[in-house]
Structure 1
Amino acid sequence: MPTSTSPIGVADSLTIRSEAAAAVGSELLAGGMASYRVKVAMSRTARALGLDSFTSIVTYTDITATATLNGRYRTRITQPKHVGVDVDRLYRTQRYVESLPPRGATAADVFEALARINARGSLYSRPVNALAAGIACAAFAFLNQAGLIEILAVLLAATVGQAVRRVFQLRQWNHLLVTVIAAVVTASLYLTVVGIPAQLGWIGPGNLGGFMASVLFLVPGFPMITGILDLVRSDFSAGMARLTYAAMIILGAAASIWTVSVAAGVETHPATPLGLPFELELPLRALATFIGVLGFAIIFNSPWKIAVAAATVSTVANSLRFLMTEGGIPVQLATLAATVLVGVAAYVIARIKHVPRISISVPAVVIMIPGYAMYSGFAMLNAGELAGSVLLLQEAVQTVLAAAFGLALAHLATSPAWRRVHQPT
């Protein structure tokens, strides 16, 4: 005879209900959702399924949860098969959770809905995904004062690099290994493409702006930002794990491109400012921001309306940030103000369009993460330029913290749950 906790023959058992609630959390965690929102979604699903409570601990790679029903409890550990970033999965899973009734849902309905979401696959083909990375990095190259030849080289190198990265991602290879392979391929191709123009004297030596920009598609913006947001919520196990992962990926990519530059005998130098008039540079930077964020949103598998919304928000915020820095305000304070604006705008859009707030805010902020300074600081450190590398790395860390804390302040200002010490149950 099946027991009350057996999944066999008992559709509404404690086991089946807890499995369904945990499956929702697994989908969101696999798509890159911050741990607090994963807990909220599982708790809401558990209530809809009739469970008395559902308490969980969410890290970057697994979920430990205890469900209770009529005085009985069950604890289980859930691990997604693959953790990455998939905004479409986040969007559709959250929309389904929001549509659940307060009571009366069945585990079968939950599993069926999740199966439909998983069956969708990627919204964009591999060529579109790769080209989006190339376009995004080319936009970054312009923001880093790269010239036209360098921008075109970045477009080609980053497109090929993302295509290679995507092949190994779909095979579920180790993330660090995939990052190293993609960084080596991208950096090598970039140096090969710009080699002839550099020899002919068409561009200056070093090409640091374009060289560093070509690998910026490898910057782990989602885990970096959500990791700090987790820490703000006191989810230390998830936050530290995400930040450790982000640091590992950044170091792997930086070490790879530095090794390529040393092997090729390239001495990198800061890019020469383009010297554009302010009246022309401001709209061009706004356009580059829109294109760059749109490209990254496509890499994150964002539905088109979410990608355009994130790009629009970032264009306004990053233009404000540029105006503030041109006015003499430190880049850290300018970034803080810009990301507060992003966070508030993401809250408004999320309420109106019923999309995950993180799907707007994180892609919009990724363009402000100083990947150029991170990689340059690492390269200078290995070259023995200690003072310059420390200044660059300090600025990079402070800017990342300012970006994340800006989003955190926006959350605290707009979400009552964030202002209280409360864990979903």
Structure 2
Amino acid sequence: MDPDAQPRPAPLPTTTSPLGAVDSLTVRSEAAAAVGSALLSGGMASYRVKAAMALTARALGLDSFSSIVTFTDITATATLGGRYRTRITQPDHVGVDVDHLARIHRMVEQLPARVSAAEIFEQLARIAARPPLYGALVNALAAGLACAAFSFLNGGGPIEMLAVLIAAIAGQAVRRTMQRRHWNHLLVTVIAAALTSGVYALAVGVPTLLGVIEPGHRGGYLAAVLFLVPGFPLITGILDIVRSDFSAGVARLTYSMMIILAAAASVWAVGIAVGMGPDSTNLLTLPLAAELPLRALATFVGVLGFAVIFNSPWRIALGAALVSLVANTLRFVMTTGEVPPQLATLAATTLVGVLAYTAARIWHIPRTSISVPAVVIMIPGFTLYTAFSLMNTGDVTGSLMLLQEAVQVILAAGFGLALAHLATSPSWRRVAHPH
């Protein structure tokens, strides 16, 4: 039912909200908290949630609005005329929706000097009522293309890429269906990873048994599930920690690791059942003159696919893809020149952050809507899943070496974006929190 069609209940008499006071302290604080709740449910980092609520509270005429934002909760205290009110807000569902984030960001940025709580609620209701920009078929196809691009970037050939495309489309279609029913995230991840792995095994196994293709082609097995890598909470968690928002940052990183471990365990279990696992043999090798433009194209397609999964409008999705094309190509050139991967990633993601800042200022959007999709392609999900598989086969040394490499690259990616924030945003260079 349309929330606008329901009559708004009369405010209850409290010590801070006299009966009939339409824009009382209670109502205004509810409106400011509703903005934060909508941003948090769309995947926004905690600092931006705090800043948006503080700006909204100021436009509502509140004297102050101090908040503590975690991954799933907001605790805020509003003051007005010597009175105060503290409340806890919990979004119904936490995910990623760049379209909603961009619209709420623009709404807050364009607030007049004075606004009523009713106007805030009305605008939020209109944004919340917007359906996904892309249907189930386009969303699933975007995941398939993104993972196929990942497969190429990890040395997969045409057969691996085709199998990855088929498997990831099937996995994302099921994942999206369960997500829209608000199923438990870990359960969704386990089911989607198992289905995707099974489909990939069938996609290469059946043609092999029929003699259509030669045996092998396991190189894309792990690439097929890379759409499950929790890029948004992984990157925003590091950004939260840089801002000393430890309650939010640690929670986001813990959630990310649980999702990765759930996916890895599911992939490993299916691999044991069907005799499939990580394979670094028969990788595609190309001369640098041919590989460089193809990697740039794969980066563009991969980031565009992830941006569509995140429900990004086309302008933002194309912007993120172009930014990553430049930065990830630079990263590849640097690693080819024997620059350590973590240092190359740090340089590339710092460039992403600066370019995202420029785009955000021009288009009036949150910079994370550009920077996070652009950086997701650099997250070593393939390495993480391989490390988990090796651990379960008893190769502890090989697993720890890969895990160490992956963690260093992930930290470098997050710190690169943080450096860009520190260089371009005065508020990031200060210790004070928005209020």
Q: After TM superposition, is the score higher than 0.5?
A: yes
- Cα distance, 1:8–1:112 mapped onto 2, change above 3 Å: farther
| Corresponding residue of 1:49 | 60
Among the aligned pairs, what percent are the same residue?
69
Question: 1:365 and 2:407 equivalent?
Answer: no
In the TM superposition, residue 4 of structure 1 has moved relative to its aligned partner by 6.5
3-state SS of 2:433 partner: coil
Give the one of 92, 105, 112 matched to 1:94.
105
From 199, 209, 215, the counterpart of 1:189: 199
Equivalences for residues 154-303 of structure 1 within 5 A:
154-199=164-209, 200=211, 202-205=213-216, 207=218, 209-303=219-313
CA distance change for structure 1 residues 31 and 203 in 2, over 3 Å: closer, same or farther? Answer: farther
- In the other structure, the counterpart of 1:22 is 33
Asked whether the equivalents of residues 137 and 214 of structure 1 are also in contact (C-alpha less than 8 Å), the reply is yes
Q: 2-side partners of 1:399 and 1:361: how far apart?
A: 16
In structure 1, the partner of 2:9 is none
What is aligned with 2:346? 336
1:144 maps to 154
Q: Secondary structure at the match of 1:40?
A: helix
The answer to whether structure 1 residue 73 and structure 2 residue 80 are counterparts is no
Q: CA deviation at 1:277?
A: 1.2
Deviation, structure 1 residue 101: 1.6
Distance 1:377 1:203 in 2: 27
Instruction: Give 1:196 deviation, angstroms.
Output: 2.9
**TM-score calculated relative to the size of structure 2:** 0.95
Q: SS of the counterpart of 2:220?
A: helix
1:256 maps to amino acid: S
Per the alignment, in what secondary structure is the counterpart of residue 432 of structure 2? coil
**Aligned counterparts, 1:335-414, within 5 A:** 335-414=345-424
Displacement of 1:6 after TM fit? 2.6
| Cα distance in 2 for residues equivalent to 1:371 and 1:158 | 15
Tell me the residue number matched to 2:6. Answer: none
Q: Do 1:4 and 1:13's aligned partners in 2 also have CA atoms closer than 8 Å?
A: no
Provide closer, same or farther for how the CA distance between residues 67 and 192 of structure 1 changes in structure 2, counting only shifts above 3 A. Answer: same
SS in 1 for 2:368: helix
**Letter in structure 1 aligned against 2:339:** I
Residue deviations 1:108-144, cap 9 Å, x none?
Answer: 0000000000111211111111111011001101111
1:198 to partner: Cα distance:
3.6
CA pair 12-4 structure 1, distance change in 2 beyond 3 A: farther
Out of 116, 120, 125, the position equivalent to 2:130 is: 120
In the alignment, residue 142 of structure 2 is paired with which amino acid?
A
Once residues 175 and 19 of structure 2 are traced to their aligned partners in structure 1, the CA distance between those partners, rounded to angstroms, is 42
Helix, strand or coil for the counterpart of 1:57? Answer: strand
- Structure 1 unaligned residues grouped into runs of 5+: none
Distance 2:280 2:88 in 1: 49
1:10 counterpart SS class: coil
Gap regions ≥5 residues in structure 2? 1-11
- Asked if the contact 1:146–1:271 (Cα under 8 Å) also holds between the matched residues in 2, the reply is no
Among candidates 114, 136, 143, match of residue 133 of structure 1 = 143
Q: Distance in 2 between matches of 1:80 and 1:228?
A: 22
The 2-side partners of 1:8 and 1:129 are apart by 47
Q: How many residues align?
A: 423
Shift in Å at residue 234 of structure 1? 0.1
The CA deviation string for residues 242-277 of structure 1, in whole angstroms up to 9 with x for no partner, is: 000000000000000000000112353214331211
SS at the partner of 1:356? coil
Amino acid at match of 1:284: L
Indicate conservation of the 8 Å contact 2:331/2:348, yes or no. yes
Structure 1 window deviating more from structure 2 (3-12 vs 303-312): it is 3-12
CA RMSD of aligned residues (A): 1.3
Distance in 2 between residues matched to 1:262 and 1:205, nearest whole Å: 16
Distance in 2, matches of 1:255 and 1:25, equals 34
- State the Cα deviation string for residues 23-57 of structure 1 (Å, max 9, x = none): 00000000000000000000000000000000000
